[in-house]
Amino acid sequence: MWDFDVLVLGSGPGGQKAAIAAAKLGRRVAVVEKKHMLGGVCINTGTIPSKTLREAVLYLTGLNQRELYGASYRVKEEITVADLGMRTQHVIGREIQVIRSQLGRNHVTVLQGTGRFLDAHTIGVTGDEERKVTAERIVIATGTSPARPSSVEFDDKMIIDSDAILHLDRVPETLVVVGAGVIGIEYASMFAALGTKVTVVERRERMLEFCDLEIVEALKYHLRDLAVTFRFGESVAAVERRPRGALTVLESGKKIPADCVMYSAGRQGKTAELCLAAAGLAADDRGRIEVDENYATPVPHIYAVGDVIGFPALAATSMEQGRLAAQHACGEPVAEMQELSPIGIYTIPEISFVGKSEDELTRDKIPFEVGISRYRELARGQIIGDSYGMLKLLVSSEDRRLLGVHVFGTGATELVHIGQTVMGCGGTVDYLVNAVFNYPTLAESYKVAALDAMNKMRVIARLTAEL
Ligand SMILES: Cc1cc2nc3c(=O)[nH]c(=O)nc-3n(C[C@H](O)[C@H](O)[C@H](O)COP(=O)(O)OP(=O)(O)OC[C@H]3O[C@@H](n4cnc5c(N)ncnc54)[C@H](O)[C@@H]3O)c2cc1C
């Protein structure tokens, strides 16, 4: 009766995993994706290019080696956008091949073009040719695009968003980043590492509020050391385009000249082209679609996953949502998404955490002890020349369970998973105290931090016993 059992709109992490999961369950599956966008924002303009760019910056600037070889150490004196773009394009190309091959192996049909609802079971695909396809179940995984305030005249050269920053024709000497969210601050740190003088303008009084305050302070210290200027509690009144650069005028009257201004002002769900009303659906003013706990929209055979449904808008969560939605759509038993998801922020240095922050635990009146390990006290920290990294464990003073793990420095986004696993299995700090880790490793920081927390708890226990 239908052309396909499951049709997925968008081939980003959410769409891909939905399509593969449905195909593995023996369904006839199609993915609709725009030309040159296979793999979604994740592969083409978001996660993969930005993380590859970061790796290229770290390698070419030699930044991570300077503690060992001196402040003037660099692999290449004049780093050009071609040097950076070469690595980015290489990885994007490879990743697209991996996805194409994975979809092919699983007999998922890729329909190239822009999809829109004609009715609740019919999608019109506009591409090189126009076609109509029907499907029993539909998964919307169309993601987001950078929000562009209407008051700002974007020209994709001097006044840009986070998509256009990947296509600059030279590394700017000066850059204003408007918005200190994750994307803004990641790019600010990459360009600062390249030697660009960066000014970050943020309306709020602090940045990355969901992160551990001590770690955000450490990041700010490092970025200031790379000549980043922060303007917190400031809003942009206007950005003026001048022949030799842009002038960012703040509401406080300050003027900041720069070669380039990057707006990182949040993202908008990509739903405008979908003609949602034809399927009986609607999006909110930020283009997001409402879903229930199974990722089903108010029209039960239509699901939505990934960034288009809003928070947390991360690649890993999008993938899992896609898989779970497909299972539900195919009538399979569905496990709930695990609550314990890590957050990784690829600034220079990087940040990662899982579980609660000190602020959250204090607000909820949950007593905890802190155990800290500093990389400079680990042999591996000395070997790699990372003297600033740290790992912080938040341990329940009542039952010694791990409540949160916060990591700053080399390998933070990998290391966090040890803590996530211990927490996920209901482990206590005792496990980490007694575990033997490879030496010399950064993983050892778990044992050192656990011993630190345990020693502090022992002092409290001793004093309490004396009473
Ligand atoms: C600069 C940047 C850095 C990031 N870094 C990280 C990171 O380090 N870690 C992390 O976890 N996440 C990161 N993210 C977020 C991550 O990229 C997203 O969470 C993820 O890509 C969302 O996946 P998705 O499945 O919602 O689809 P997306 O990847 O957003 O892709 C959606 C796809 O749908 C297609 N589409 C849209 N409308 C239609 C239509 N009408 N018809 C057909 N196709 C359509 C689009 O062309 C697009 O290819 C970053 C994002 C950005 C922008």
Q: Does the Cβ of 54 fall within 6 Å of ligand 1?
A: no
- Looking at the chain, the domain(s) classified CATH 3.30.390.30 span 349-466
- Residue ranges of the annotated binding site for FAD are 51, 115, 307
Taken in order 270, 236, 161, 87, the sign of the CA dihedral is: negative
DSSP symbol at 170: S
| Ligand 1 pocket: which of 7, 47, 125, 130 to mutate (most atoms within 8 A of CB) | 47
pLDDT of 103-155, one tens digit each? 999 999 999 999 999 999 999 999 988 999 999 999 999 999 999 998 899 99
Single-letter amino acid, residue 80:
T
What distance in Å separates the CA atoms of residue 442 and residue 444, rounded to the nearest whole number? 5
Just give the CATH number of 349-466.
3.30.390.30
- The reply to whether omega before 312 is within 30° of 0 (cis) is yes
Confidence (pLDDT) at 29? 98
- Looking at the chain, the domain(s) classified CATH 3.50.50.60 span 4-145+268-329, 159-265
Compute, in angstroms, the gap from residue 377 CA to the centroid of ligand 1: 39
Compute, in angstroms, the gap from residue 169 CA to the centroid of ligand 1: 24
Compute, in angstroms, the gap from residue 405 CA to the centroid of ligand 1: 27
What distance in Å separates the CA atoms of residue 11 and residue 14, rounded to the nearest whole number? 7
The answer to whether 407 and 391 have CB atoms below 8 angstroms apart is yes
The CATH homologous superfamily for domain 4-145+268-329 is FAD/NAD(P)-binding domain (3.50.50.60)
Compute, in angstroms, the gap from residue 41 CA to the centroid of ligand 1: 4
Q: Does the Cβ of 259 fall within 6 Å of ligand 1?
A: no
**What's the distance, Cα to Cα, between the start and end of the chain in Å?**
78
Residue in this structure with the two tokens 């600037």, named with its chain if needed: 61
What distance in Å separates the CA atoms of residue 93 and residue 97, rounded to the nearest whole number? 6
Q: Does the Cβ of 143 fall within 6 Å of ligand 1?
A: yes
Compute, in angstroms, the gap from residue 12 CA to the centroid of ligand 1: 5
What distance in Å separates the CA atoms of residue 303 and residue 243, rounded to the nearest whole number? 48
| Ligand 1 pocket: which of 37, 125, 142 to mutate (most atoms within 8 A of CB) | 142
Compute, in angstroms, the gap from residue 64 CA to the centroid of ligand 1: 29
What distance in Å separates the CA atoms of residue 453 and residue 251, rounded to the nearest whole number? 46
What distance in Å separates the CA atoms of residue 36 and residue 412, rounded to the nearest whole number? 33
Q: Does the Cβ of 13 fall within 6 Å of ligand 1?
A: yes
Residues of the chain with pLDDT under 70: 467
Q: Report which protein residue has its CA nearest ligand 1's atom 14.
A: 47
Q: Give the DSSP H/E element, type plus range, for residue 177.
A: strand 174-178
The answer to whether 107 and 123 have CB atoms below 8 angstroms apart is no
The answer to whether 308 and 288 have CB atoms below 8 angstroms apart is yes
Q: Report which protein residue has its CA nearest ligand 1's atom 17.
A: 42
Q: Does the Cβ of 185 fall within 6 Å of ligand 1?
A: no
Confidence (pLDDT) at 337? 81
Confidence (pLDDT) at 339? 84
The answer to whether 79 and 61 have CB atoms below 8 angstroms apart is yes
Residue in this structure with the two tokens 């910056």, named with its chain if needed: 57
In which region does residue 26 sit, left (phi positive, over 0), alpha (psi from -120 to 50) or beta (all else)? left
Compute, in angstroms, the gap from residue 17 CA to the centroid of ligand 1: 13
- Residue ranges of the annotated binding site for NAD(+) are 179-186, 202, 266
> DSSP labels for 366-432?
--EEEEEEEGGGSHHHHHHT--S-EEEEEEETTT-BEEEEEEESTTHHHHHHHHHHHHHTT-BHHHH
| Ligand 1 pocket: which of 307, 343, 346, 351 to mutate (most atoms within 8 A of CB) | 307
Q: Does the Cβ of 37 fall within 6 Å of ligand 1?
A: yes
Compute, in angstroms, the gap from residue 252 CA to the centroid of ligand 1: 35
Task: Please name which of 65, 63, 94, 61 lies closest in space to residue 78, comparing C-alpha atoms.
Answer: 61
Q: Does the Cβ of 22 fall within 6 Å of ligand 1?
A: no
Counting Cα atoms < 13 Å in the Cβ hemisphere of 144 gives 29
Q: Does the Cβ of 115 fall within 6 Å of ligand 1?
A: yes
> DSSP labels for 290-302?
---TTSB-SSTTE
Confidence (pLDDT) at 467? 64
Task: Evaluate whether the domain defined by 159-265 bears CATH number 1.20.1580.10.
Answer: no
Please classify residue 73 by burial: count the beta carbons closer than 10 Å to its beta carbon, then call 0-12 exposed, 13-18 middle and 19+ buried: middle
What distance in Å separates the CA atoms of residue 194 and residue 346, rounded to the nearest whole number? 15
Confidence (pLDDT) at 3? 98
What distance in Å separates the CA atoms of residue 410 and residue 239, rounded to the nearest whole number? 36
Q: Does the Cβ of 40 fall within 6 Å of ligand 1?
A: yes
Q: Report which protein residue has its CA nearest ligand 1's atom 6.
A: 47
Structure tokens at 29: 């599956």
In which region does residue 113 sit, left (phi positive, over 0), alpha (psi from -120 to 50) or beta (all else)? left
Confidence (pLDDT) at 221? 97
The ligand 1 atom nearest the CA atom of 306: 26
What distance in Å separates the CA atoms of residue 391 and residue 443, rounded to the nearest whole number? 10
Confidence (pLDDT) at 376? 97
The model carries a pTM of: 0.96
Confidence (pLDDT) at 128? 87
What distance in Å separates the CA atoms of residue 215 and residue 208, rounded to the nearest whole number? 10
Q: Does the Cβ of 114 fall within 6 Å of ligand 1?
A: yes
CA angle (110 as vertex; 105, 115 as ends), nearest 5: 155
Single-letter amino acid, residue 399:
D
| Ligand 1 pocket: which of 41, 138, 166, 353 to mutate (most atoms within 8 A of CB) | 41
Compute, in angstroms, the gap from residue 310 CA to the centroid of ligand 1: 11
